[in-house]
Each structure stands twice: as structure tokens, then as C-alpha cells.
Amino acid sequence: MSDAREDDLGELGELIARARRDGPGAERLGAVRARLESQVGSLDAPPLPSASGGAVAITLGVAALAALTIGLAGWLVVRGGAPADEAASEDAASEAEAPAAVPSTAPGPPASPVPRDPTTEAALDGLRAPAEVLPRPDARGDETADAPRAPRGARWARDARGAPPVGSAVADTSAPPAPSADARASTLREEIALLDRALRAREAGETARARAALEEHAARFPSGRLRPERERMLAELAAGGTPAP
Amino acid sequence: MALDRHGAATLGRLYEEHADAVFRALRRWGVSDSMADDALQEVFLIASRKLAEFEGRSTHRTWLFGIALRVARGVRRTRTHEAMGEIEPEGDDAPVDDEVDARRAARQLDALLATLDDAQREVFVMASLHDLSAPEIAEITGANLNTVYSRLRLARQRLADGLARSGRRRP
């Protein structure tokens, strides 16, 4: 309220300016905080894995997945062109998703380029439940403002289902047809683009835009292949935004 | 009641950023020094319970001030009459350091604020000591905007008159 500042209040303003210097002091505030923590638990930020290491891992993981996707698409073409029927497509998808369970000479991407960190997972459990504790950015990133978003409840419900089962080389004929390899590659490209956008925004210090891109990824690909990277970045943002250089 | 890790980190950040301002506001709203620590703790205890319901429609600062205002009102209702209106006599010409000067000024201001009714006092403290905007104050107090401006104008007038009467104009 600019018209109420002490500059405009004459001698009363002078008194206010002097009184403003009177405060409780750090020691007193610290004592109250200690009492508060005895009731609600520690108020310290949860420990997270090295932020800079996480960023490098994410970048490498995204690049590795992109390379594997290109290799997989090329291998399918060499093997006989695009799959002629859904069963062949299902086979290819199953082989690609379960390299450990099904012995195969086909190149398959690893389950995740970044090993899951139980600490981060635990932190993310905290992030998810009351995820809207922090104020949601009013002005979302320009390019994400119009993006379709799933209802929040549906989003978490889908997330809770987890990833589709992998490890079976036999197509389940009762299941809906799996997307073609092209569609899967396209989906992965979209995932990469979203995480890349989040990375760039974070590097530019625009945490709101970074978070918006990650939330868009979560809405569109709740169990996407880059979900571990998304969750790691969300945890890093919650811990303070940009990783240490 | 334990917060989850994210909630705890958020509350910790809010405490670091706003505890000092909340404490000062509580004092200026009439919470005695002896009650201020408990009141501050109560504010953040309530915040910890309500954190999951915070939807971001206001700033965290506005939200916390809203909680603090209600805590201060509760303290005012339950306290016995305390000596709030006495202006502490200043020492003769003894030099004072900044800390002592600030404390004296705060006591003098508290004495002047005690001459206001509670609604005027609440508005004046938020506007003039904590730079909250009129719409923010309206949101916190539940009063309409014109009422906020009116209370602020009356508070200023009464405080200026009180300061003049105290005969403590500075050269």
C-alpha cells in the first residue's frame, strides 16, 4: 500500500521506521522453531541426491533413449519393414521392453537409464500426495498454457496403475492392440521434447516453466518411459530449483 | 502430528521467510512480549495443519498473516488487561544504541497503537508496517476495500493526534 509508507506519515513515519528495527532476533526465532519441530517433526528439507549428478544422469538418459529408439526403428526396418500385423508389432514391443526376461539378439532399451533412488522415491511420495501445497504457478509457461491436461484425479489414478506389464513375449490377444513401433518412437520423442524443455527452462532459472513442462509430462505420460527422469527433476525443483554447477 | 517430508520442507521455508514478520505483527497487534513466542508457535502449528489445504489463491505471506491475525485476536480476547498504553519515559540524554532506540520506538508505537480500536490497529499494522496492499488486507480481514481504506485513514489520524499529544516530537 504505497500511500501508507512511512515517508508519507511525517513524524509517525519516523517512529515506524525506528520501530521496524525492533525484532525477535535469530536466537528467539530459533527457539520457537525448535519447539515447533518438537510438535510437527523436523522442518529441514529432505536430503536429495546430488543435483548436478542428477542433471547429468537425466541428460545422458534422454540421449541414450533417443539413440536406442532410432536403433530400434532401424532394426525393425532392416528386419523386414514395418510390422505387417499387430502380433509382430506386439512381439517387437515386448522384446524391446523386456530385454532381461526374453533372450533376444534384438537391441532393447534398458528399463531405465537412471537407476531408481529410494531416497528420491520417498521424497516424491511426499511430493505427490499434497502436491498442491505450494502455490501453483498462475502464469504457466506460454507453450504449455494450452496443452491438454488430464484431470488431476485421473492423472494420479492412471499413475497408480503403473507401467504395463512387461516380460511376456506372447501377445495378449484380449488386450487392446499395442501401438506400432513408429507410434512408440513418436511418443518417446514427445517425452524427450517435454523433458528437454523442462531442462532448458531450469537452466534458464525459470522454475515455473520447468515445473509446468514436467507436470505436462506427468499428465500426458504418467507411466512414461522417462518417468524416473521426470520425478528426479521434480524432486530437484522442490529442493531448490536449479542444480548446483 | 508429523508432516510428510515435502510439507516439512515447505513449512521450514515459510518459517525462515516469514517468522520474523509474523512475530512483529503479533506484537503490534497487541500480543505481549511474554505471549509472543507461544503465539508465533501457534501460528505455524496451525499452518502445518492447514498446509495441505493451501490452494495458492493468495500468497503464503497473506495466508500466514490471516492465521496470525486470528491468533492475535484470540490472545487479545483471553488475556487480562495488560499495561499496553504506557509510553516508556525516555532516558535523559543518555546515548542509546540502535537496538535500544528500536525497542523504545516499538514501545512508543505500541502505546499509540493501543489507542486504536482493534480493527483500525489491524489494518494500520498490515499497511504501514508490513506493506500489505489494501486488497490483501481486505482478504485477510474479510472487510471490503472501502472499509480498509477508511480504517487506515482514521488510524493514521488518531495516531498522528496521539503523537502530537505525547509531546514527543523529534526535532
Rounded to an integer, what distance in angstroms lies between the CA atom of residue B23 and that of residue A167? 59
CB contact (8 A) between residue A133 and residue B15:
no
CB contact (8 A) between residue A16 and residue B129:
yes
Nearest-neighbour CA in chain B from A61: distance (Å): 26
Least confident of A71-75, A184-188, B30-34, B158-162: A71-75
Residue A209 pLDDT: 84
Answer yes or no: is pLDDT of A109 > 50: no
- Inter-chain CB pairs, A–B, below 8 Å: 164
- Measure the N-to-C terminal CA separation of chain B; round to a whole number of Å: 54
Residue A182 pLDDT: 73
Q: Which grid coordinates are listed for A20? A: 521496524
Rounded to an integer, what distance in angstroms lies between the CA atom of residue B92 and that of residue A60? 72
Quick one: what percent of chain A has pLDDT higher than 70? 39
Nearest Cα neighbor of B21 from B53, B79, B60, B54 is B60
Answer yes or no: is pLDDT of A139 > 70: no
Quick one: what percent of chain A has pLDDT higher than 90? 5
Q: Could you report the predicted ipTM of this complex, rounded to two decimals?
A: 0.84
Residue B150 pLDDT: 94
Helix (H, G, I), strand (E, B) or coil at A241: coil
Residue A57 pLDDT: 57
Work out the average pLDDT over A114-119.
Answer: 39
CB contact (8 A) between residue A21 and residue B40:
no
Q: Which grid coordinates are listed for A169? A: 513375449
Delimit the domains of chain A by residue range: 51-128+140-240
pLDDT bin (cut points 50, 70, 90) of residue A66 is low
CB contact (8 A) between residue B163 and residue A127:
no
CB A22 within 8 A of CB B105: yes
Residue B40 pLDDT: 96
CB contact (8 A) between residue A40 and residue B45:
yes
User: What's chain A's average pLDDT?
Assistant: 60
Find chain B residues with C-beta within 8 A of A125's C-beta: 4
Least confident of A74-78, A236-240, B7-11, B119-123: A74-78
Query: In sequence order, which ranges of A81-117 are alpha helices (DSSP H)?
Result: 86-97
| Residue type (1 letter), A58 | I
| Residue type (1 letter), A102 | V
Q: Which residue in chain A is spatially nearest to B132 when comparing CA positions?
A: A1
pLDDT digits (tens, 9 = 90+) for A155-206: 333 333 333 333 333 344 444 455 577 777 778 888 888 888 888 888 878 8
CB contact (8 A) between residue B8 and residue A133:
no
Nearest-neighbour CA in chain B from A1: distance (Å): 4
* Helix, strand, coil percent values for chain B (each to nearest 5): 70, 0, 30
CB contact (8 A) between residue B105 and residue A39:
no
Answer yes or no: is pLDDT of A140 > 70: no
pLDDT digits (tens, 9 = 90+) for B59-109: 999 999 999 999 999 998 886 555 444 444 444 455 567 888 888 889 989
Residue A168 pLDDT: 37
User: The dihedral of CA B28, B33, B37, B39: what is its sign?
Assistant: negative
Nearest to A23 among B20, B44, B104 (CB): B20
Least confident of A72-76, A241-245, B22-26, B109-113: A241-245
Find chain B residues with C-beta within 8 A of A33's C-beta: 15, 19
Neighbours of A154 (CB within 10 A): 12
- List the single best residue of A5, A7, A15 to mutate versus B (max B Cβ within 10 A): A15
Find chain A residues with C-beta within 8 A of B36's C-beta: 24
Find chain B residues with C-beta within 8 A of A44's C-beta: 8-9, 12
CB B46 within 8 A of CB B69: no
Nearest to B163 among A5, A12, A138 (CB): A12
Residue B41 pLDDT: 96
The per-residue b/e assignment along A20-55, b for 16 or more CB within 10 angstroms, e otherwise, is bebbbeeebbeebbeebbeebbebebbebbebeebb
Higher-confidence residue of B127 and A220: namely B127
Residue A230 pLDDT: 85
Answer yes or no: is pLDDT of A86 > 50: no
Nearest-neighbour CA in chain A from B165: distance (Å): 12
Q: Which structural domains are found in chain B, ordered by start?
A: 1-77 (1.10.1740.10), 98-166 (1.10.10.10)
pLDDT bin (cut points 50, 70, 90) of residue A215 is confident
Rounded to an integer, what distance in angstroms lies between the CA atom of residue B32 and that of residue A199? 49
Nearest Cα neighbor of B58 from B160, B133, B112 is B133
- The secondary structure of A134-182 as a DSSP string is SPPPSS--GGGTTS----HHHHHHHHHH-SPP----S--TTSPPPPPHH
Nearest-neighbour CA in chain A from B105: distance (Å): 5
CB contact (8 A) between residue A24 and residue B128:
no
Tell me B52's DSSP state. Answer: G
Answer yes or no: is pLDDT of B43 > 80: yes
CB contact (8 A) between residue A21 and residue B170:
no
CA B154 to chain CA centroid, nearest Å: 18
